[in-house]
Amino acid sequence: MLYSHEDTITAIATPIGVGAISVIRVSGSQSIEKVDSIFRGKKKLEDSKSHTIHYGRIYSQSNEVIDDVLISIFKKPNSYTGEDSIEISTHGNPLITQKIIDALLENNVRLAEPGEFTKRAFLNGRMDLAQAEAVADVINSRTEVSLHGARNQLDGLLSKKIDLLREMLIHSSSLIELELDFAEEDIQFVSLKEVKEEIEDIIAEIEELLKSYSFGKIVRDGVKVALVGQPNVGKSSLLNYMLKESRAIVSHIPGTTRDVISEEISVEGLFIKLFDTAGIRFAEDDIEKEGVERSRQAIENADIVIYMFDVTSDFGLELYEEIEKTIPEDRIITVANKIDLGKDLSHSADAEISALTGEGIPELFSLLKEISLGSNIYTEKSAVVSSLRHYNILKKAKENLFSAVKSIENKLSGEFIAVDLRNAENLLGEIIGKVSTDDILNNIFSKFCIGK
Ligand SMILES: Nc1nc2c(ncn2[C@@H]2O[C@H](COP(=O)(O)OP(=O)(O)OP(=O)(O)O)[C@@H](O)[C@H]2O)c(=O)[nH]1
Ligand SMILES: [Mg+2]
């Protein structure tokens, strides 16, 4: 991304398409002056106060009226980007927004790169990097739970935690540096045992955060649930029931489902990707064999397997045991189906349902949610790691801290300890953007949408 910070940039901030209104954003030191040059209202925008709204018209270069608009002015530093910014609300027609963008481009305003407004907000200190990353998650969250997680990160819960750990690290570092300063005088100022304990505390905190990742990932990306079992037990019927539509073909003929069918649903606020698979048995034809192969793949990729059996038939112990080899038992939910036909179970089950009448399905949902989120201690106010970038950084920081502890144990020179601590401190700084490179920033912001 080659640009000067001084540039004034613009982009359409609302979805492309027809709507009641569309909003165009302009940000940069010349934004007010540039918009003034295509706008005619009661008075000049330059002479207007911050956080005021102005009615008027936008004109093209050839003096043609493009649209009646409302203009909101945000003067620096009290704007999203921290720069002078303007939002132009137009009638929601892509032809109009494009014409206004063109008029701005003719006035040497530049089209914004993806995520550039948020990038500027970060560079101008309006938010830290972890918060900036959360902006994309807030926009893309599709369930209550994931939206809540993203909101927490935007509010700075993770950042505060990382800041705290950095402060602890800086304290340990300063003790070690002090020790180094007086090394020649052969006096030990600092109890290395204390420093070691402090570092171990930080490691423990980092491990907590690392543990929260599986939860954070599920919150953000959803949990993959595979419906598995022998043919004809009612897997597709359950999928249809959950979706409230007849998505998969259901029939009394065993081997109906040949391919893996995947659908997304929200269960009690949790985002679930559901995979209906072909019933697994010794396959009779090539197509079914391929289907069974795909079922096995779906099991491998699943976070949770619903193992279904038919109460009027056998449990299918052989198949169950085979699945247990792929996925741990605590990630398998056994479900007895067709209880409308009788409740004499051939085998105990975690849930008893009827995919026909819906009996027992609310209980199955609760169980699914409980197992997905784990017996986690994450409360509304816990800092949770949901991004792979953060996870990888924390893992590296932990390695550095381990190495520092080893150095202390092996009575190595304080310089070795100091280097590891400094590395760990810099790594934590990368999460919140205290330490950043163009590469890191480009990588993050290029994944944003234009206008954000
Ligand atoms: N009585 C009753 N019948 C059910 C229930 N669930 C499914 N069925 C019937 O069982 C038969 C098989 O249902 P499917 O949903 O196609 O079973 P499946 O497990 O997807 O089968 P395959 O795709 O062949 O592996 C159909 O005739 C369904 O109507 C239930 O809870 N009660
Ligand atoms: Mg089926």
User: Is residue 235 in contact with ligand 1, taking CB distance under 6 Å?
Assistant: yes
In a domain, 443, yes or no: no
Question: Ligand 1: which residue has its CA nearest to atom 12?
Answer: 232
In the reported structure, the alpha carbon of residue 355 is separated from the centroid of ligand 1 by a whole-number distance in angstroms of 8
Domain tally for the chain? 3
**φ, ψ for residue 274 (rounded to 5)?**
-100, 130
CATH number of the domain to which 212 belongs: 1.20.120.430
In the reported structure, the alpha carbon of residue 301 is separated from the centroid of ligand 1 by a whole-number distance in angstroms of 24
In a domain, 322, yes or no: yes
Same-domain check for residues 29 and 83 = yes
User: Is residue 234 in contact with ligand 1, taking CB distance under 6 Å?
Assistant: yes
Q: Which atom of ligand 1 is nearest to the CA of 254?
A: 24
User: Is residue 341 in contact with ligand 1, taking CB distance under 6 Å?
Assistant: yes
**Predicted pLDDT at 236:** 96
How far apart are the C-alpha atoms of 48 and 54, rounded to whole Å? 9
Radius of gyration of the chain (CA): 29
**Predicted pLDDT at 17:** 85
Q: What is the pLDDT along the chain (452 residues), one digit of tens a residue?
A: 444 567 999 999 998 889 999 999 999 999 999 999 999 999 999 999 999 999 999 999 899 999 999 999 999 999 999 999 999 999 999 999 999 999 999 999 999 999 999 999 999 999 999 999 999 989 888 777 788 888 889 999 999 999 999 999 999 998 888 877 766 666 566 688 889 999 999 999 999 999 888 778 777 788 999 999 999 999 999 999 999 888 888 998 888 888 899 999 888 778 899 999 988 886 667 777 788 888 889 999 999 999 999 999 999 999 999 899 989 998 999 999 999 998 888 889 999 999 999 999 999 999 998 888 765 555 667 788 988 899 999 999 999 999 999 999 998 888 899 999 999 999 999 999 998 888 889 889 988 988 88
**Predicted pLDDT at 2:** 42
Q: Which atom of ligand 1 is nearest to the CA of 253?
A: 24
How far apart are the C-alpha atoms of 195 and 178, rounded to whole Å? 12
Give me the residues near ligand 2 (ion), CB cutoff below 5 Å: 235-236, 256-257
User: Is residue 337 in contact with ligand 1, taking CB distance under 6 Å?
Assistant: yes
Same-domain check for residues 234 and 305 = yes
Same-domain check for residues 51 and 120 = yes
Same-domain check for residues 119 and 52 = yes
User: Is residue 244 in contact with ligand 1, taking CB distance under 6 Å?
Assistant: no
In a domain, 3, yes or no: no
Q: Which atom of ligand 1 is nearest to the CA of 257?
A: 23
How far apart are the C-alpha atoms of 115 and 139, rounded to whole Å? 12
CATH number of the domain to which 351 belongs: 3.40.50.300
Which tokens belong to 230?
């022998």
**Predicted pLDDT at 343:** 84
Same-domain check for residues 229 and 303 = yes
User: Is residue 141 in contact with ligand 1, taking CB distance under 6 Å?
Assistant: no
For the CA of 235, the nearest ligand: 1
Same-domain check for residues 107 and 147 = no
Q: Identify which of 95, 100, 48, 56 has the alpha carbon closest to the alpha carbon of residue 73.
A: 48
Q: From the CB of residue 301, how many other CB atoms can be counted at a distance below 10 Å?
A: 14
**Predicted pLDDT at 64:** 95
pTM: 0.75
Same-domain check for residues 104 and 169 = no
In the reported structure, the alpha carbon of residue 235 is separated from the centroid of ligand 1 by a whole-number distance in angstroms of 7
Same-domain check for residues 333 and 256 = yes
How far apart are the C-alpha atoms of 129 and 429, rounded to whole Å? 10
In the reported structure, the alpha carbon of residue 409 is separated from the centroid of ligand 2 by a whole-number distance in angstroms of 59
In a domain, 307, yes or no: yes
Burial class (CB in 10 A: 0-12, 13-18, 19+), 266: middle
Q: Identify which of 72, 83, 77, 82 has the alpha carbon closest to the alpha carbon of residue 35.
A: 72
Same-domain check for residues 275 and 352 = yes
Domain that holds residue 78: 9-128
In a domain, 380, yes or no: no
Would you say 410 and 416 are in contact if contact means Cβ atoms under 8 Å apart?
no
